[in-house]
Amino acid sequence: MSDAETKLREVIQKIAQEQDYANSKIALKPLSSGGANYTSQLFTVTLSAPGKDDIKLFAKIATLGEKIRAMSAIQVFETEIIFYTKILPKYREFEEVHNIPEEDKFVLPKYFGGSTAYMDEVLVLEELSGKGYQAFDRLKCFDWEYASKSVAALARLHAFSVAYERDDPETYSEMVKKLKFTIPTDEMKNFLKNRIETGVKATEEVNRARVEKYLKDELTEQTFLKYFNPKRRLFLTHGDFRPSNILHKKCEDGKLELVLVDYQMIQRGNPVCDLLFFLISGSDEDFRANHLHQYFNHYYETFSKTLQRLGIDPEEVYTEMDYRSDVKEMLPCGLSLGLMTLPVITVDPENAPKPEDGVDLDSFNMEVSDLFRERFNGLVRDYIKFGII
């Protein structure tokens, strides 16, 4: 039995006791993410006991190496556990008090337990594939239906954090202090240099010189300071909002239902960070040509309506003018963000880092795919049209 399985079984045994599953049996099955996950080993778990219905679980075991942990001070699963045990119950309370319609409530897996012991972190949630949910194919571009549903769910996530802060500012303030994300340090310099070389090499020759100049001027540690510390209103943001972290299913009535998952990087930040990351990580040139303005408009419309349902005037919280200013200010970060993340998101499965081998910063200097070149050059052409490069 591997060390990972031993760690997991210890946590599942505790869950079995809490669920009153005496004489329980635990069946573990390793699960591949197909290159969508690099920081954890994944398992499906069946917990059974005489006279009881089986409990289907989904488990993550952290595999981040010590070097990358030290560089970014990542709190593996601690932040996600705070979300499920502290933030989500408050959001549920607001749904009840303000009579939020079923279709606008958060659909999330049940949290069963975990461990935050250093290098032995484990997170166990309800397994949702048995209910018809599946992961988005990271190698595909989302369509408007998927994007609009995702953006609406994100807007509600942000709006509810405003209600939380207003309802209980003292508890909220203490909680957000625990949601830390350290901006990358000087140890990132070699990684950024590698990424710039990758981007320049992948760029079509006609645009290569201007892209090289732009990246050398813009892709620095300061890019991340600007991205994570914008000037205007801060909410609780997802922090890793991309299609791979959203599960979906088609309901019997034909409607699309989404579940937002993976709250390891939830933090206090600007909502446009989440919006921009989702756009860059899951769209292509055609989608942006047809839906870019609609995309940003849809977010603010949903955000405003959600605040109003919660009895809050959007103009007192985050005016549309401020929102538009944030979009304009942060949009230039998109090309650098794409260069940092798209090599990982679009990597061919055979070249993807293997979580069971342990993940370090060097693991992400992988061979890029043809899809990366296509997506990145689409971004370059867009950013030339935008007048940014």
Task: Label residue 352 by pLDDT band (50, 70, 90).
Answer: low
pLDDT for residue 231: 65
CA 132 to chain centre: 21
Determine the angle formed by the axes of helices 144-167 and 285-309, rounding to 10 degrees: 30
pLDDT of 211 > 90? The answer is: yes
Question: Where is pLDDT greater, at 77 or 236?
Answer: 236
pLDDT reported for residue 364: 65
Res. 272: pLDDT tops 80 = yes
Contact by Cβ (8 Å): 77, 60? yes
Assign 68 a pLDDT band (cuts: 50, 70, 90).
Answer: low
The number of beta carbons lying within 10 Å of the beta carbon of residue 204 is: 12
| pTM for this entry | 0.90
Q: What is the pLDDT of residue 2?
A: 62
Torsion of CA 200, 204, 206, 212, to 10 degrees: -10
Mean pLDDT value across residues 40-68 = 86
Q: Report the run of H or E that residue 291 belongs to, with start and end.
A: helix 285-309
Q: Which helix (H) or strand (E) holds 317?
A: helix 314-317
How far is it, in rounded angstroms, from Cα 314 to Cα 303? 8
DSSP at 131: G
Backbone angles phi, psi at 76, to 5 degrees: -65, 120
Q: Which of 156, 166, 28 is closest to 92 using CA atoms?
A: 156
Q: Positive or negative CA dihedral for 356, 32, 266, 378?
A: positive
Any idea where the domains of the chain sit in the sequence? 76-108+134-183+229-331
Q: What is the pLDDT of residue 367?
A: 84
Q: How confident is the model at residue 225 (pLDDT cuts 50, 70, 90)?
A: low
Q: What letter represents residue 184's amino acid?
A: P
CA-to-CA separations, 126 to 15, 45, 168, in angstroms, rounded: 12, 10, 29
- In tens, the pLDDT along 244-261 reads 999 999 888 888 999 999
Residue, of 63 and 206, whose pLDDT is higher: 206
* Separation between Cα atoms, residue 292 and residue 347, nearest integer Å: 25
Token representation of residue 190: 């070699």
- Residue 160's pLDDT band, with cuts at 50, 70 and 90, is very high
* Neighbouring-strand partners of residue 250: 256
Averaged pLDDT for residues 157-185: 86
Beta bridge partners of 236: 268
Give the β-pairing of 111-115 and 122-126: antiparallel
Query: Residue 282's pLDDT band (boundaries 50, 70, 90)?
Result: very high
234 with 158: CB under 8 angstroms?
A: no
What are 359's strand-pairing partners?
A: 64
Comparing 107-121, 142-156, 345-359, 365-379, the range with the smallest average pLDDT is 345-359
Q: Which two tokens stand for residue 363?
A: 């693991």
Mean pLDDT rounded to a whole number for the chain: 88
Longest alpha-carbon distance in the chain: 69
Give 3-state DSSP helix, strand, coil % of the chain, rounded to 5.
Answer: 55, 15, 30
As a whole-number percent, the residues of the chain with pLDDT over 90 amount to 63
Residue 278 sits at the vertex; the CA angle it makes with 240 and 158, to the nearest 5 degrees, is 65
| pLDDT confidence tier of residue 318, bands split at 50, 70 and 90 | very high
